[in-house]
């Protein structure tokens, strides 16, 4: 089981790099939502017996991170007519180099941390640190609101990965992390509301005075 | 049970506000719920309930020492809210009133949370409930401020969750059974895994410090306070920041029990002094009197951080300062709101001579400014004096010197802005605007009452309050 687990976490770490290297918003959103789905599968692999709470956590994660939030982001992109190109503060090649450096540093750092024996061989901690750092690079290095939200989501995915260490003993704390998704929801709705607001500013009803008797 | 009512009543009020049909009468829910909340809190304050050690929520000594101040502030701001929303009748206030009441309920939950996860959930929910309050004005600038608040605050909240995970792992690594109530973590004490405890402390300090607005994580504050209605600024500066402060105090107690209290104190002292220094320097430069209040709030959060770093005596002083800051800052925000409405601008370039246009608000604003810059005999003077005493008693001479220097700089900065607003001749545009703004009792009495409470707190600090603060300190620093 641990082999599959590590494979999936490795995939998530690869998706970090894909997110850092993507130059267009749709591919960034795709990388992020795929990572959400991969992470959603993990709790099912960690727990040997299928508990309803674990199943619910997995479903909520897959639906939230993989379907709802990407859907909201795509809708925001369409309604707000946002240009598809990402404007980076930190260029794509430097971001990728930073991301790769973060992954290496994460593996090295995780070796020095005192872990429980059952967690020592897994990629959970390195994957978590790498995703958190990737999230920060995207948050700092991208200009568009939607790409910053994607960065925040990847940061959140990293925290979720770390939370999986605790899923046995303190499930409530891990489930609370789902509330972070709610934050993202508010973020996205904020963007939409903002844009709609501006649309209404220029569509002021007081200016609609042409049709009268 | 009554402690649960503190959370349920405001949340029910919020639900009621969400379905209340009339825009005109809805704001009255604010003072009505506020009165019930204050009555409940003070009943509990006088008759403190027995809290089971493993309870997840409870009106424990720390909640008893802080929550009444927040409740009082909310009641008075709620009374102000009725007249304020009456002036702003052109905007629908359904979401605003509902969110404000929800914030009160969630603050009560956050102050009473005795479980690491619950504490985080409450703080997170408060953060989200504040969002509609910040963009009530609906201007593009207000949206920009809300965006920054969400981005910085959301990152802070995410880091504090990671910190909670790390503290949980510290307990797990040390052989804990997964009980995350803070009392259980404290009793595990030195059994917590040391590296994880240190990582957790850094992340939790940064995370909750962002909510509190400690420098350098304060960047959302000037924008958010500057662009939102002043009643929101008052409640955020006096209520939302204190819940993050009590969170830090609760976590600090666990770190102390784990034997790392000295490191925690040193970081708190450093970050507190840094906050004071940064805010003092920005106070010297700002030209916007609402942003000035935000920097002043950063400064006072720094004072709280310093107090929390100085052991039992310092924490007592910090709890005293929570009260005096909450009440005084509330009065300043409300009077600044009046001046802002009359002048039509928050900048000292446009708002001048306000002592002619709004004499009462200007008088309150000046007095509040002297109170908050620690002039006797108001509350902040005595609480800051107590912080200095605690610092000198624990041989922090250099820190005390920096502390006093920052207070002086902040005094220069604030007097500069306040007197620029109050003195001089009003601008023509402001004159026309100011004639429309009438200083009714509804907008003058609330800041006046808050200032009066601050004075009363300074001159006649009730023995019962002092007992409540010492009881909270006894909870945070248990003698083995």
Q: Which of A131, A168, A177 to mutate to test the interface with B (most CBs of B within 10 A)?
A: A177
CB atoms A166 and B151 under 8 Å:
no
CB atoms A152 and B128 under 8 Å:
no
Residue A124 is assigned to a structural domain of this protein? yes
The verdict on B157 touching A (C-beta cutoff 8 Å) is yes
Kindly state the DSSP code that residue B425 receives in the 8-state scheme: P
- B292-317 burial code (b ≥16 CB/10 A, e <16): bbbbbbbbbbbbbbbbbbbbebbbbb
pLDDT band of residue A202 (cuts 50, 70, 90) is very low
CA B182 to CA B253: how far, in whole Å? 9
Whether B444 shows a pLDDT value over 50: the answer reads yes
CA B143 to CA B132: how far, in whole Å? 10
Burial of residue B185, with CB atoms counted within 10 A of its CB: 0-12 exposed, 13-18 middle, 19 or more buried: buried
Chain A residues within an 8 Å CB radius of B165: 159, 162-163, 165-166, 173
Burial of residue B147, with CB atoms counted within 10 A of its CB: 0-12 exposed, 13-18 middle, 19 or more buried: buried
CA B311 to CA B372: how far, in whole Å? 24
| Residue with tokens 């509040």, as numbered in its chain | B368
CA B223 to CA B144: how far, in whole Å? 8
What average pLDDT does the segment A104-121 reach? 87
| Structure tokens given for B316 | 């007592």
Q: Which of B143, B157, B193 sits opposite A183 (nearest CB)?
A: B157
Distances, alpha carbon B238 to alpha carbons B77, B120, B139, B362, B367, in Å: 11, 19, 25, 21, 18
Min Cα separation B198/chain A (Å): 12
Min Cα separation A109/chain B (Å): 12
Q: Please enumerate in sequence order all residues whose Cβ is within 8 A of that of A22, keeping only pairs 6 or more positions apart, or say none.
A: A28, A31, A86
Task: Report the DSSP beta bridge partners of residue A24.
Answer: A85
CA B199 to CA B183: how far, in whole Å? 20
Q: Which of A163, A176, A198 sits opposite B121 (nearest CB)?
A: A176
Kindly state the DSSP code that residue B59 receives in the 8-state scheme: -
State the Cα angle at B256 between B254 and B260, rounded to 5°: 115
The verdict on B56 touching A (C-beta cutoff 8 Å) is no
Q: Please enumerate in sequence order all residues whose Cβ is within 8 A of that of A79, keeping only pairs 6 or more positions apart, or say none.
A: A192, A195, A196
What is the structure's pLDDT at A74?
84
What is the structure's pLDDT at A37?
93
The verdict on B202 touching A (C-beta cutoff 8 Å) is no
CA A21 to CA A19: how far, in whole Å? 5
Q: Which of B151, B157, B200 to mutate to test the interface with A (most CBs of A within 10 A)?
A: B151
Chain B residues within an 8 Å CB radius of A199: none
Shortest CA distance from B117: residue in chain A: A173
| Structure tokens given for B417 | 């802005």
Chain B residues within an 8 Å CB radius of A132: 162
Nearest of B78, B86, B130, B101 to residue B450 by alpha carbon: B78
pLDDT band of residue A208 (cuts 50, 70, 90) is very low
What is the structure's pLDDT at A45?
85
What average pLDDT does the segment B8-37 reach? 94
CB atoms A155 and B158 under 8 Å:
yes
CA A109 to CA A36: how far, in whole Å? 24
Residue A211 is assigned to a structural domain of this protein? no
Task: Report the DSSP beta bridge partners of residue B347.
Answer: B288
What is the structure's pLDDT at A143?
76
Shortest CA distance from B146: residue in chain A: A190
| Structure tokens given for B145 | 């401020």
pLDDT tens profile B120-132:
999 999 998 998 8
Q: State the average pLDDT for chain B.
A: 91
Chain B residues within an 8 Å CB radius of A159: 158, 161-162, 165
| Structure tokens given for A2 | 């641990």
Shortest CA distance from A192: residue in chain B: B143
CB atoms A190 and B150 under 8 Å:
yes
Distances, alpha carbon A22 to alpha carbons A8, A31, B454, in Å: 21, 9, 56
pLDDT tens profile B201-227:
999 999 999 999 998 899 899 989 988
Burial of residue A37, with CB atoms counted within 10 A of its CB: 0-12 exposed, 13-18 middle, 19 or more buried: middle
| Structure tokens given for B26 | 């809805």
Determine contact, residues A180/B157, Cβ cutoff 8 Å: yes
The verdict on B123 touching A (C-beta cutoff 8 Å) is no
Q: Which of A150, A170, A177, A197 to mutate to test the interface with B (most CBs of B within 10 A)?
A: A170
DSSP H or E segment with residue A164: none
Nearest of B396, B201, B213, B371 to residue B307 by alpha carbon: B396
Is the bond preceding B319 in cis, omega lying within 30 degrees of 0? Answer: no
Whether B177 shows a pLDDT value over 60: the answer reads yes
Domain extent, residue B399, equals 2-476
Q: Which of A116, A182, A197 sits opposite B143 (nearest CB)?
A: A197
pLDDT band of residue A207 (cuts 50, 70, 90) is very low
Q: Which of B147, B172, B195 sits opposite A169 (nearest CB)?
A: B172
Domain extent, residue A114, equals 2-196
What is the structure's pLDDT at A212?
42
DSSP H or E segment with residue A66: none
Kindly state the DSSP code that residue B51 receives in the 8-state scheme: P
CA B181 to CA B472: how far, in whole Å? 17
Q: How far from the centroid of its chain's Cα atoms is residue A116's Cα?
A: 27
Taking the CA atoms of residue B3, residue B5, residue B8 and residue B12 in that order, the dihedral angle to the nearest 10 degrees is -160
Whether B81 shows a pLDDT value over 90: the answer reads yes
What is the structure's pLDDT at A176?
78
Chain A residues within an 8 Å CB radius of B196: 113-114
Q: Total domain count for chain A? A: 1
| Structure tokens given for B346 | 């928050």
What is the structure's pLDDT at A82?
66
Burial of residue B182, with CB atoms counted within 10 A of its CB: 0-12 exposed, 13-18 middle, 19 or more buried: buried
What is the structure's pLDDT at A104?
93
pTM of the model: 0.93
CB atoms B158 and A156 under 8 Å:
yes
Q: When comparing pLDDT for B34 and B141, which is higher?
A: B34
Chain B residues within an 8 Å CB radius of A172: 117, 180
How many CA atoms lie less than 13 Å away from B91 in the CB half-sphere?
16
pLDDT band of residue A211 (cuts 50, 70, 90) is very low
Residue A213 is assigned to a structural domain of this protein? no
Min Cα separation A106/chain B (Å): 15
Burial of residue B186, with CB atoms counted within 10 A of its CB: 0-12 exposed, 13-18 middle, 19 or more buried: buried
Residue A209 is assigned to a structural domain of this protein? no
Q: Which residues of A fall below an 8 Å CB-CB distance to B?
A: 113-116, 132, 139, 145, 148, 152, 155-156, 159, 162-163, 165-166, 168-170, 172-173, 176-177, 179-180, 182-184, 186-187, 190, 194, 197-198
CA B138 to CA B235: how far, in whole Å? 19
* Rounded percentage of chain B residues whose pLDDT exceeds 90: 66
CA B182 to CA B188: how far, in whole Å? 10
Determine contact, residues B390/B474, Cβ cutoff 8 Å: no
CA A27 to CA A77: how far, in whole Å? 13
What average pLDDT does the segment B256-277 reach? 93
pLDDT band of residue B29 (cuts 50, 70, 90) is very high
What average pLDDT does the segment B47-72 reach? 91
Residue A212 is assigned to a structural domain of this protein? no
Q: Which of B154, B199, B202, B206 to mutate to test the interface with A (most CBs of A within 10 A)?
A: B154
Residue A205 is assigned to a structural domain of this protein? no
Q: Which of A130, A138, A143, A179 to mutate to test the interface with B (most CBs of B within 10 A)?
A: A179
Q: From its phi and psi, is residue B178 left (phi > 0), alpha (psi between -120 and 50) or beta? A: left
Min Cα separation B108/chain A (Å): 19
What average pLDDT does the segment B140-161 reach? 86
Q: Total domain count for chain B? A: 1
pLDDT band of residue B424 (cuts 50, 70, 90) is confident
CB atoms A190 and B143 under 8 Å:
yes
Whether B95 shows a pLDDT value over 80: the answer reads yes
Is the bond preceding B216 in cis, omega lying within 30 degrees of 0? Answer: yes
Chain B residues within an 8 Å CB radius of A169: 168, 172, 176-178
Interface of B with A in 256-295 (CB under 8 A): none
Q: When comparing pLDDT for A61 and B74, which is higher?
A: B74
Whether B12 shows a pLDDT value over 70: the answer reads yes
Nearest of B353, B372, B363 to residue B298 by alpha carbon: B372
Shortest CA distance from A149: residue in chain B: B151
CA A136 to CA B159: how far, in whole Å? 11
Whether B92 shows a pLDDT value over 90: the answer reads no
Whether A199 shows a pLDDT value over 60: the answer reads no
pLDDT tens profile B280-290:
999 998 888 99
Determine contact, residues B331/B368, Cβ cutoff 8 Å: yes
Determine contact, residues B31/B75, Cβ cutoff 8 Å: yes
CA B224 to CA B130: how far, in whole Å? 10
pLDDT band of residue A213 (cuts 50, 70, 90) is very low
Residue A203 is assigned to a structural domain of this protein? no
Between A and B, how many CB-CB pairs are < 8 A?
Answer: 97
Burial of residue B32, with CB atoms counted within 10 A of its CB: 0-12 exposed, 13-18 middle, 19 or more buried: middle
Whether A204 shows a pLDDT value over 60: the answer reads no
CA A17 to CA B456: how far, in whole Å? 60
């Amino acid at each position: 089981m641990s082999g599959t687990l590590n494979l999936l976490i490795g995939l998530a770490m690869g998706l970090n790099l894909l997110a850092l290297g993507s130059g267009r918003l749709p591919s960034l959103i795709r990388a992020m939502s795929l990572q959400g789905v991969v992470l959603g599968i993990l709790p099912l692999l960690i727990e040997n017996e299928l508990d309803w709470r674990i199943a619910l956590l997995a479903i909520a994660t897959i639906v939230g991170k993989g379907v709802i939030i990407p859907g909201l982001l795509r809708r925001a992109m369409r309604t707000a007519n946002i240009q598809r190109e990402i404007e980076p503060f930190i260029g794509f090649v430097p971001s990728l180099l930073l991301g790769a450096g973060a992954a290496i540093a994460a593996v090295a750092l995780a070796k020095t941390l005192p872990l429980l024996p059952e967690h020592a061989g897994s990629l959970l901690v390195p994957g978590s640190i790498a995703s958190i750092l990737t999230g920060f690079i995207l948050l700092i290095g991208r200009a568009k609101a939607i790409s910053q939200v994607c960065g925040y989501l990847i940061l959140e995915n990293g925290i979720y990965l770390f939370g999986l260490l605790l899923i046995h003993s303190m499930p409530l704390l891990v489930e609370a992390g789902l509330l972070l998704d709610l934050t993202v929801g508010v973020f996205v709705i904020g963007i939409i509301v903002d844009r709609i607001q501006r649309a209404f500013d220029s569509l002021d009803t007081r200016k609609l005075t042409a049709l009268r008797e | 049970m009554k402690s649960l009512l503190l959370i349920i009543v405001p949340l029910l009020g919020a639900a009621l506000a969400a379905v209340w049909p009339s825009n005109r009468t809805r704001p009255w829910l604010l003072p009505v719920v506020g009165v019930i909340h204050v009555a409940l809190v003070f009943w509990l304050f006088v008759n403190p309930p027995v809290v089971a050690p493993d309870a997840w929520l409870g009106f424990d000594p720390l909640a008893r020492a802080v929550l009444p101040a927040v409740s009082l502030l909310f009641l008075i701001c709620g009374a102000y809210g009725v007249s304020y929303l009456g002036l702003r009748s052109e905007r629908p206030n359904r979401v605003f009133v509902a969110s404000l009441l929800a914030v009160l309920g969630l603050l009560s939950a956050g102050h009473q949370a005795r479980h690491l996860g619950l504490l985080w959930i409450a703080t997170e929910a408060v953060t989200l409930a504040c969002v509609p309050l910040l963009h009530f004005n609906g201007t593009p600038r207000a949206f920009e401020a809300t965006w920054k608040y969400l981005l910085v605050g959301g990152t802070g909240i995410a880091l504090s969750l990671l910190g909670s995970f790390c503290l949980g792992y510290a307990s797990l690594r040390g052989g804990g059974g997964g009980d995350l109530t803070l009392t259980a973590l404290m009793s595990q004490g030195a059994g917590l895994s040391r590296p994880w405890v240190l990582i957790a402390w850094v992340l939790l300090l940064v995370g909750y410090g962002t909510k509190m607005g400690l420098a350098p994580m304060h960047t959302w504050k000037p924008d958010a306070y500057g662009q939102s209605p002043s009643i929101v600024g008052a409640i955020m500066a006096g209520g939302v920041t204190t819940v993050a402060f009590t969170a830090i105090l609760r976590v600090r107690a666990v770190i102390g029990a784990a034997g790392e209290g000295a490191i925690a104190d040193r970081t708190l002292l450093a970050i507190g002094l840094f906050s004071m220094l940064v805010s003092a320097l920005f106070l010297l430069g700002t030209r916007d009197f609402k942003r000035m209040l935000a920097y002043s709030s950063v400064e006072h959060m720094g004072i709280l951080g310093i107090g929390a770093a100085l052991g039992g005596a310092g924490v007592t002083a910090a709890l005293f300062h929570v009260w005096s800051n909450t009440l005084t800052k509330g009065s300043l925000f409300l009077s600044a709101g009046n001046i802002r409405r009359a002048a039509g601008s928050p900048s000292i370039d446009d708002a001048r001579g306000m002592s002619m246009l709004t004499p009462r608000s200007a008088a309150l604003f000046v007095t509040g400014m002297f109170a908050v810059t620690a002039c006797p005999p108001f509350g902040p003077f005595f609480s800051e004096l107590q912080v200095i005493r605690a610092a000198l008693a624990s041989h922090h001479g250099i820190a005390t010197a920096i502390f006093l220097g920052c207070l002086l700089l902040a005094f220069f900065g604030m007097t500069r802005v306040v007197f620029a607003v109050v003195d001089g001749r009003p601008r023509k545009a402001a004159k026309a605007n100011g004639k429309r703004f009438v200083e009714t009792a509804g907008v003058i009495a609330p800041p006046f009452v808050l200032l009066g409470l601050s004075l009363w707190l300074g001159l006649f600090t009730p023995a019962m309050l002092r007992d409540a603060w010492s009881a909270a300190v006894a909870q945070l620093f248990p003698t083995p």
